[in-house]
A and B are shown apart, each in its own frame.
Chain A
Amino acid sequence: MLRNFIRTWKQFSRCKLGVVGLIIILIFVVMAVAAPVIAPYDPQASFLAPMFTPPNSKHLLGTDDVGRDVFSQIIYGSRISIMVGLLAAAIGTALGTVVGLISGYFGGIVDDILMRITDIFLIIPFIPLAIMFALYVGPSIWNVVLIFGFLGWPPTARQIRSLTLSLKETPFIEAARAIGAGNGRIIFKHILPNTTGVIVANVVSRTVFAILAEAGLAFLGASDPRNISWGMMIFFAMRSGAVLYGAWWTYIPAGFCVALLACGFAFLGHGITLLLNPRLRGR
């Protein structure tokens, strides 16, 4: 087990970009976990200073429209982005994997139907549907998680399905049947473990999208004001005229964090994809 891990790490670390991504993510994770310790103030505490105070020694990133410390908000905001991003991606990928496995393994009518459904979902434009959904469900940070769960599975399903199809033809699957393994065992003990690479790559790349989606929806006001995420910060900033006021610290850093975290996952995903497809390394 450990041997495997070390070998995989050596291979992965050849792609510098992937390592950079991992480092970025780790920094944010640390930030999220250690938030209560690192943040100088309670992010919800208002009127600590006059509104829109520029960055100074007491408030590293100044204050927002109700006098809250921006720096603390940023630190606590990382929790939401990471949690929502990963959760949404995980659910979407899990669903997609199940669909892909079943579709690829059993084939026939089941496959046809599932693939048709998948195609249909791929065509539905995400943002308007997400917004309408958020409209009905109301402001909540779980919006993204739910929507991703419902809409995020098709690409994964496709990939897992084609992988399953090719794995199905390999001799070791036939061998498994020859020694008496049932379908369930074959799917979960033989095919699934050989798809972990694709699964991980999918989770990571969906996380990028999920982080952006959460920020976007929050920016439009779809999120829960009780948990201030980075997107929400920008939302409040715009609503309160921070732009006109020139209070860039209320929105630029927040957006930068969204971009940085998403980049981290994007780089990581890049590294993982290279790991899986040695062919691409040359390019």
Chain B
Amino acid sequence: MIVYLVKKLIQYIVVFFIILVVIFALPRLMPGDPADYLISSTTLQTGEMSEMLRMQLIERFGLNKSITEQFILFVTNTFSGYLGISWRYFPKEVFTLIMERLPWTLLIVVLSRVLSLALGYLIGVIAAWKRGSKLDVSLQILGLVSMALPSFWVGLVLLTIFAFYVPIFPIGGALTAGKIYHSAWEYISDALYHAALPVITLSIVTFFMDALIMRNSMLEILGEDFILTAEAKGLKDRIIMFNHAARNAALPFITGALMSFGLMITGSVFVETTFSYPGVGMLLAESFFSRDFPTVQGILIITSLIFIVSNFLADIIYLWLDPRIRLMRSR
């Protein structure tokens, strides 16, 4: 088991390394001076950069050194948290920028995952139990549909209906501009108020798939003998459903949930942009639009890292939770 984890860890490290190589190589492979991509942009008038500052930055990035030295510098920089200076928000460091925005993204991602998973768990279990019913069939169809839905469109629909026509929710942003908070509670409720629509949007898009996964997992479990035993014992349907079947079926569900967590972070680009929600996703969209190379690169690195780490955690937890493997270990 440890061997397996180590192998996976090596794999992940290799992936991360490759991403770093790609990020490193791209600006240097493109036609033109790499410095343009990394330090300043001749097509953008962002901030004034004195000649001296430009020279300083060239030093910092080592663009006047050999490729190998540059790469080593790049790697050391990255691991010490220096990801460059944003152009759009000059002279803010990319890393700081990302860290500022990350909590907002985490807020909506975590909230929507929890919501989606909880509901998905419930509906999935019920759908599996009442297999073939209207609920079940419509779940399957909706699951298929939800895979084909563009998340930004769903967000826009919700926005139009609930923020414009029936103004329950705000049009965008994380907090009301210029508001002064008199208590922590006010702050939290305002944040939640603004987070509501994005969270609902994200949840809608993922909920059906979550429920489907739970349903399929349940169906496999329900087919097994121990369920028959439980029925024969005369246990109430609901008890069998939740205590026996769902517990076992939850395993692949949980690991799937963990893995999708990493994915969600990148997927929130669209939703955040739609709601002008100042998270990492929106930062990515903004930076892309304003051709802020360092920020885009930095986000790629950070999100890859998050994705890889959550994958790895999922691997570990799966192994830990699976009682079959736990038992094998103790033998």
Contact = CB atoms under 8 A, between A and B. Distances in A.
A126 interface: yes
Contact of B304 (A128, A134, A248): A128
Contacts of A124: 15, 18-19, 304
Interface string A96-122: 000000000000000000001001100
Contacts of A216: 150, 152, 269-270
A255 interface: yes
Interface residues of B, number: 52
Interface in B112-169: 141, 144-145, 147-150, 152-153, 156-157, 159-160, 164-165
A262 interface: yes
A120 B304 contact: no
Interface of B: 11-12, 14-15, 18-19, 22-23, 26-27, 30, 37, 141, 144-145, 147-150, 152-153, 156-157, 159-160, 164-165, 171, 219, 262-263, 266-267, 269-270, 273-274, 284-285, 288-289, 291, 293, 296-297, 299-300, 303-304, 307-308, 311
A252 B157 contact: yes
A262 B156 CA distance: 18
Contact of B30 (A129, A136, A248, A266): A136
Interface stretch (A30-38, A47-55, A163-171, A219-227): A219-227
Given A125-B304, A132-B296, A252-B160, A212 B288 contact: no
B306 to A, nearest CB: 9
Interface of A: 17, 116, 119-120, 123-129, 131-132, 134-136, 208, 212, 215-216, 219-222, 234, 238, 243-244, 246, 248, 251-252, 255-256, 258-259, 262-263, 265-267, 270, 283
Nearest to B30: A136
B288 A220 contact: yes
B150 A132 contact: no
Contacts of B37: 136
Contacts of A131: 269, 284, 288, 296, 300
Contact of A123 (B15, B148, B165, B273): B15
Given A120-B11, A215-B150, 7 more contacts: A123-B12, A132-B296, A135-B291, A135-B296, A252-B153, A263-B145, A270-B144
B303 A283 contact: no
Nearest to B148: A262
Given A128-B266, A270-B144, A283-B219, A220 B149 contact: no
Given A132-B300, A243-B160, A243-B164, A221 B288 contact: yes
A82 B263 CA distance: 26
Nearest to A20: B141
5 contacts: A127-B266, A131-B296, A220-B273, A238-B273, A262-B149
Given A123-B308, A125-B263, A259 B14 contact: no
A128 B145 contact: no
B272 to A, nearest CB: 11
Given A120-B11, A124-B15, A132-B297, A266 B148 contact: yes
